[in-house]
Amino acid sequence: MCDRSDDPSISDGVVLLRRVLEDWVYRQAVPPRPTSAAFKDDLSNEVSVFIATLTTVDRILDGHPGDSVAQITAGQARAQGYKIIRDPDHGLVPNDPSHVVLCPPPGLGKKRSTKAARALAESATWAYLRPKDS
């Protein structure tokens, strides 16, 4: 569980990018959207995202050609109870200033966490949506 503090230097308007596996794309929706799984991590409870102005979609997708990239704002994440924490040592490369994590506060609980992840998924837009395989 995450016990770190929210970083107020990341303003609510900052766009955050999340790499989305194909299994996490709900293509039956019109338009397609990420599933709630894209905004949950059942192991660490921390969701890895990147500050859009400090990286590129191509960099996020490097080595993952079958994936897509969703975008949300820091404000959308905070509205669902997530803290936003800089985490440069666990990004795509060492000392990656674009890497941050979304973390629900202690005590959010699994049901509430799923509801928050669903709300983020439903409000997300695509920075890049990989075309559906033919």
Measure the CA–CA gap between 114 and 97, rounded to whole angstroms: 28
How far apart, in Å, are the Cα atoms of 53 and each of 14, 35, 65, 80, 124? 8, 24, 21, 23, 17
In a domain, 48, yes or no: yes
pLDDT tens digits, one per residue of 20-30: 999 999 999 88
The answer on pLDDT for 74 being more than 90 is yes
pTM value > 0.85? yes
pLDDT classification of 13: cutoffs 50, 70, 90: very high
Rounded to the nearest integer, the mean pLDDT of the chain is 89
Question: Tell me, what's the pLDDT at 1?
Answer: 53
In a domain, 134, yes or no: no
How far apart, in Å, are the Cα atoms of 110 and each of 10, 26, 131? 26, 21, 32
In a domain, 88, yes or no: yes
The two structure tokens encoding residue 101: 């994590």
In a domain, 114, yes or no: yes
In a domain, 10, yes or no: no
In a domain, 96, yes or no: yes
Host domain of residue 69:
15-128
Helix (H) / strand (E) element for 114: namely helix 110-123
In a domain, 80, yes or no: yes
In a domain, 105, yes or no: yes
Check residues 103 and 104 and name the one with the higher pLDDT. Answer: 103
pLDDT classification of 108: cutoffs 50, 70, 90: low
